[in-house]
Structures are given as structure tokens and as C-alpha cells.
Structure 1
Amino acid sequence: MTRQGAANGGRERTGRARYRRPALTLGCVVACLVACTSGAAAAGKLFGLKAPNAAKAANPKKTATSPRRSGGGGHQPPSPAVQKATASPGPSAAPARSSSHATAPPSHQAPPLGVSRTVPDSRLPGQVGALFDGSGLSGSHHCTASVVNSPGEDLIVTAAHCLGSTSDVFVPAYHDGVAPYGVWHLQRIVVGAGWTDDSSPDDDVAFAVVAPLDGRTIQSVVGGYTLGIDEGTGGRVTVTGYPATSQDPVTCTNRISSFSSTQNEIYCTGMTGGTSGSPWVIGDSPGTVMGVIGGYEQGGDTSDVSYSVAFGRSVQSLYEEATSSGD
């Protein structure tokens, strides 16, 4: 929005018309002599001249570049980099209307429901991390996963389309090229037959057994979420994930709704390529994961609306298979 002001930065002074009258000729001559001896400023007042205006200060604008729409946070990242909105209006600036796709900068105040923001390093949940290919931190992260509580303390959950082989590695709380809890290798991947045979959207969930690191299990190091089955769509859900073109995760909270009998959906901006597998968490300390970005269109066909398989009996069975001694 632009603000319009007077062209000269103030009120325009309208000069009054001056009429010549013979009876006033002598008075005019005297007035002119007085004006000449009192300087240019008085002359300016006599003839209605206006002083030059000061240059008007520019009105700065705040802009936010919104992420390009991608294939719903799928395995392949979008080509352009995701740009974050980092500027904020000054105290006298008019508030700018943000893009519906924009990701807000970190803030101590919670953003509106459905608006994603970058997670500050100090608030990164240790249970959530990025999935890299076998080259580890020297490669690129393509999906997101999270630790779930299990008897062996060694299990992560993500979308089935995120895991192709055990060569992938999991980096919890990854940020800015740093692996604060180390790089963890996968030992075993568990997916349903519906995904293996037909890549069914209703089976786009996977568990992976994580190998110990320095003699410790992943859950003992970073903790884990409770696995939630048949949680419904009643409460608020927080989604945290790693856009493939960013070195920091984003998070968003909103209410979810039922998309179909087997799929749920959530409106959250900025969930671009790389956020597939991001946990849908309800509750606190640390909470319950009741979904992951995936399912329909491998998570959605826009960056603003994401989907998840509704965790039910089939996911429970998959979890039981993953926690059995099958390796």
C-alpha cells in the first residue's frame, strides 16, 4: 500500500491576486523600498513567494518472498530456494499483508494458526531430524523423520516414500550444517505390503530401526514421541519439518480435519519439498505423534495443505512388526 501526500510536503499556499490602483502607487513604491532593505525573505513574503520544500523521505516497504509451490513436500525438492521473511516493520510503518505461502521468522510469540515459522536452534525438538542420503552431511536432506518410543529405543517413523534403502542416515535436531546429536545409520526399514506392491497412499508410512551410536540408542539420547493410534481430529496438531532448500526446520500449529476415511489434512504454510515424513504431534512433553506428512499426493500438491495417513490398525501392526526382533 502506498501513501499519498501533498506534492510539496505541506499545505499549498494560494497567492492572492494583486490589483493595480493609481491611488496606491506611492504606497507601493514605499513598500518596495522597505522590502529591498529588509532582505530577500521579506520580499518573498510581500510577493507571495514560497520557500523550496525539503526532500520527502521515502516510505520503505517490507516484502516477503514466498516459497514456490512444490509437490507437497515429496522426496524431490523444488528447484528454487525457499526464501524466509526476515524483515519486520518499524514502529511507524504500516503493517504489510503477508503471503499465504510465507514462512515467518523466529519469534517469542506464537504465529497465527496455520502459519509456519523457522524454529530457533534453542527450541529444536531433539526427536525430529532430517533424513540424508548415504553421504551424510556432505549430501542433501530430502525428508524428515522423528523418534517414537519403542522397547528397543531405536525406532523412527516417516513417510514410506522417503525411505529407499538403509543407506540413508538420520540427523536429529539438524541445523545450519550441524549434527548436535550425531549422524545415525539405519539398520532395517519396515513398510506395509500395500506400499511395496502398489505404492498405495493409504500405506505411505514407514518405520526404521536405527543402529546404536557410540553404544547408545537414539531414544536414550534425544527422547521419543508416543505413537498415537486412532487419535481422531479433535485437537491442535504441531507439524515440524525440514524444507529441502533450508538448513533449519519450520514448525506450524493448526487444527486438522478428515480428508477421507483414511487420510487427514492440515493447513500449514511453507511445507515444501523435504517436509515429507514430518511428525504431526499432539500434546506436550514431548507429545504423541499421530501422523506424518505423506499419503495423498505424497503429502499434498501445494505447500500450504498437507496430508497424512490416519494412524489406525494398519500403522499399529506396522509398528509391532518394526519392534519385533526381525533383524
Structure 2
Amino acid sequence: MRGHRTAMGVLLTVGALLTGALSATAATAAAPATTPAPGARSVGPAEQREARTFWTAERMRGATPLDLVLTPRAARQLKTPKPDGAPTTVAPTRVAPTAFPQPGGPWTVGGAVVKTSGRVFFTMQGRTASCSGNAVTSQNASTVITAGHCVKYQGTWHTNWVFVPGYDNGQAPYGQWTASKTLTTPQWEASEDINHDIGAAVVAPLDGQKLTAVTGAQGIQFNGGYNKRMYAFGFPAASPYDGSKLIHCSGNSSKDWLFSQDHSLGCNMTGGSSGGPWFTGFDETAGTGLQVSVNSFGYVFLPNRMFGPYFGNEAKALYDKAQAS
């Protein structure tokens, strides 16, 4: 994503938040509203085999970075429901500490984040495209968190979906992991509501191993609040970046003061970084933290500022469905 340019000329229109239905019994009053189930697409064995062979180094280098930019007109249509719920945290997998980095720019220090984060590649409407993603702690040891538009966009689920942790200029040092299922929030699936631009993928085993046994995993937190120090990571591939390196931004976040309920962070990452993780409580020596958002979008009138969805109850429901798959 990027706040001041787009590789696609996207004008994003978003709709209203879906609401759960009320149910009642003969003996009691109406029950609380239920959360709609996350949307999901299962990927069969034949498509998984095709994806494994499709993504050559040349195709990965040539994939178009996916980018979302909101114009003033689109932004005014946003709905801003209030997040609620008690904080929920899943602890990260720890790794050995490394030296402190300099803030901003390429991440050169190492630590767990260089293995848990990676590029996401897929076919969208007949052409190759890219985003970013991150492996998180999960029951199935196979869950990747990304942006909603990195699994489904303009009414169509992406195909040939793979996650390449630790991507290195066309190389896949920890393998290419094909999706057996991709998922998104019901709000993104129904109307591409930017407040819920969150996606997930369950990846198939590779060479007899599950994803986080190879890459490790980051923790994840829901309903953690706003206005915290954040670290954002991704593989921006639109100029001035080329997708070959893991880039990071860090600083104090705030709540979007304009149109959405999203987190806001000063950052100049460009298209292709969408879906990359935002961490709170990030340990610079270990490269671990609690993921609380993803790179999502920018406003065309606010260059060098990035926005990411709040991980509330809907994100928790998505994560729970993914990790149980």
C-alpha cells in the first residue's frame, strides 16, 4: 500500500458493516447479536500443485504490487463502528537476541521477523500480483495473517496463492507455502469495508513440515487499544522500492482522525507492503512482538502516512477460524 500513489489507479468504495442477527427462545429474552462468520475459499490439491510450479523467480520479481489508496470521495463513505471486547493475546515464539537496529528503512539486523514475515504472491484477474504477510502462533502451526485485499478483491478470490517467508530477491530460503484455504472478515467479503481489511491463509505442509516449525511465529493481540509505539514491516515493491528487501517503519501510532477506525503511522512504504504486520511490544533484539494490525491503505491527500485496521472481535473470529482449519 501507499499513501500518495497507486500501481493500479484504485478507487476504493466501501460499504456498511454487517450486523449479526438476534435470536430468541420461548423462555428467555433475545440473545446478544452474533458475529457473522468469516468468508473462506478452500483450495484443492490440483490448484495447490499448480501454484507450487507457477511461481518461478522471474514471475515473483515481475509481480505487480497491489496498492490501495482512498480518495476524499471514497473516504467520506467509511463507517466507523466502535471496537469493543476485552484484550486477547497469544504469545509469540521467542528466538535468540541480536543487535539493535537503526529505526526506519531496510531491516538488516535479523531476528525472528526476517523468517516470520514474507511476500505473498497470487494471480488476480489474470495477472500476477504481490502483497506481504506474517506467520503467527496458531493451533495448526500453518496460519498467515495478511490484508483482506490480498486474498480477495473486487468480488473475486485470488488464485495461485503462495507465502514466501524471508523472500530474498526471487529466492525462497524457507520455501514457497501454498494456501489450502484463504479467509477474510465478513465485512470485507461483503462490501470491502476498509475498517475490516484483514485476511488470513492456512498453508499446506511442505516437505512434511508445517510452516511455523520452519519459520517460527509471532504472537497476536486483539482489542489492545490505540496510541502505542508500533513497528510495521513489509516488502514494498513500487518505486522507490523493488520488493527485494524487508522494510520497516517505527514510531508512535495514533487513531485515524479522519474517516476510519484504523491505526495510523508515519511510513513511506509503497505498493506490495499491503498485509505486512504491525507489532506492539516489539523486541528489537529478538525481532518478536504482538501483531495488532496489517498494512492496509493510505489517503491520496496524506503522503507518507500508512493505515492499518484495528484487530477487534471480527479479527479474532477470523484468526480462530483460520487456526482451527
TM-score range normalised by the length of the shorter chain: 0.5 to 0.7
Give the residue type in structure 2 aligned to 1:190: L
**Residue 272 of structure 2: which of 263, 274, 286 is its match?**
274
Distance 1:168 1:149 in 2: 20
Distance 2:128 2:183 in 1: 23
**Residue 154 of structure 1: which of 127, 142, 145 is its match?**
142
Within a 5 Å distance, the mapping from 1:95-110 to structure 2 comes to 110=101
Distance 2:122 2:314 in 1: 28
Task: Report the equivalent of 1:70.
Answer: 5
2:119 counterpart of 1:130: yes
Distance 1:292 1:78 in 2: 14
Classify 1:303/1:275 alpha carbon distance in 2 versus 1 (closer, same or farther; 3 Å): farther
Deviation at 1:218, TM superposition (A): 0.6
Classify 1:132/1:150 alpha carbon distance in 2 versus 1 (closer, same or farther; 3 Å): same
Assess if the C-alpha contact under 8 Å between 1:147 and 1:225 holds in 2. yes
Deviation at 1:110, TM superposition (A): 4.5
Assess if the C-alpha contact under 8 Å between 2:136 and 2:219 holds in 1. yes
> Greater Rg, structure 1 or structure 2?
1
Task: Report the equivalent of 2:256.
Answer: 259
By percentage of residues, which structure has more strand?
Answer: 2
Assess if the C-alpha contact under 8 Å between 1:166 and 1:188 holds in 2. no
Assess if the C-alpha contact under 8 Å between 2:117 and 2:133 holds in 1. yes
Q: Deviations over 1:80-106 (max 9, x none)?
A: xxxxxxxxxxxxxxxxxxxxxxxxxxx
Q: Report the aligned-residue RMSD.
A: 3.0
Task: Report the equivalent of 2:246.
Answer: 249
Deviation at 1:182, TM superposition (A): 0.7
Identity of aligned residues (%): 29
Partner secondary structure for residue 278 of structure 2: strand
Within a 5 Å distance, the mapping from 1:142-291 to structure 2 comes to 142-163=130-151, 164-244=157-237, 245-259=242-256, 262-269=261-268, 271-283=269-281, 284=283, 285=286, 286-291=288-293
Within a 5 Å distance, the mapping from 1:17-36 to structure 2 comes to none
Distance 1:129 1:177 in 2: 12
Distance 1:264 1:72 in 2: 23
Classify 1:78/1:291 alpha carbon distance in 2 versus 1 (closer, same or farther; 3 Å): closer
Structure 2, gaps ≥5 residues long: 11-62, 68-98, 152-156
Task: Report the equivalent of 1:318.
Answer: 318
Distance 1:268 1:254 in 2: 9
Count residues in correspondence. 221
Normalising by the residue count of structure 2, what TM-score does the alignment of the two structures yield? 0.61
Distance 1:72 1:255 in 2: 28
Distance 1:141 1:134 in 2: 6
Q: Deviations over 1:220-266 (max 9, x none)?
A: 11111111111223431111100122311211111100115721110
Give the residue type in structure 1 aligned to 2:270: T
Partner secondary structure for residue 168 of structure 2: coil
Assess if the C-alpha contact under 8 Å between 1:272 and 1:303 holds in 2. no
Distance 1:227 1:255 in 2: 19
Normalising by the residue count of structure 1, what TM-score does the alignment of the two structures yield? 0.61
Distance 1:203 1:213 in 2: 30
Q: Could you say which structure has the greater relative contact order, defined with CA pairs below 8 angstroms and 6 or more residues apart?
A: 2
